[in-house]
Structure 1
Amino acid sequence: MSSTRTPAIAGSAVFLLAYLAVSFTGPLADRSLPLPDAPAADVAAYYGANPLAAVVVAGLQAVSVLGFAVFARAFERRSVRAVAGVSVLAMLVSCALSVVLAAVAGSASLDTVQALRLGSFYAGGVGNVVTLGVFVLLAAKGGAPARWFGYVAGALATLSVLSLAFYYASALLPVGRVLSMVWTVVVAVLLTRQRAVTGSAR
Structure 2
Amino acid sequence: MNAPTRAPSRIAPGAGVLAATGFLLAYLAVGPVSGAFVDRPLPLPGSPASEVAAFYAANPAAVAITAGLQIVSVACFAVFVAGLTPALRAVGNAWLPPVGYLSAAAMVVSSALSGILAVLAASASDTTVTVLRQASFYAGGVANVVLLGVFVFGSALVLGRERLLGTPTRWFGFAAGTIAVLSVLSPAIYYANLFLPVGRLLSMVWTIVAAIAIHRRVKAENR
Larger radius of gyration between Structure 1 and Structure 2: 2
Give the structure 2 partner of residue 18 of structure 1. 26
Long gaps (5+) in structure 2: 1-6, 89-93
Q: 2:96·2:151 contact (CA, 8 Å) conserved in 1? A: yes
The root-mean-square deviation of aligned C-alpha atoms, in Å, is 1.1
Matched pairs, number: 200
TM-score in terms of structure 2 length: 0.87
* Pick aligned residue for 2:149 from 133, 153, 157: 133
Structure 2 residue aligned with 1:54: 63
Q: Select which of 9, 31, 36 maps to 2:45.
A: 36
Distance in structure 2 (CA, Å) of the matches to 1:184 and 1:48:
36
Q: For residue 177 of structure 1, what is the aligned residue in structure 2? A: 200
The superposition leaves residues 41-69 of structure 1 with CA deviations (integer Å, 9 ceiling, x where unpaired) of 00000000001001100110110011100
Q: 2:103 aligns with which of 74, 83, 87?
A: 87
Deviation at 1:4, TM superposition (A): 3.9
Match of 1:5 in 2: 12
Deviation of 1:88 after TM superposition, in Å, equals: 0.8
Structure 1 portions without partners, runs of 5+:
none
> CA offset at residue 188 of structure 1?
0.6
Moved over 3 A (4+): none
Q: SS state of the match for residue 37, structure 1?
A: coil
What TM-score do the two structures reach when normalised by structure 1?
Answer: 0.96
Partner of residue 221 from structure 2, selected from 194, 198, 201: 198
Distance 2:134 2:16 in 1: 32
Aligned-residue identity in percent? 51
Shift of 1:19: 0.2
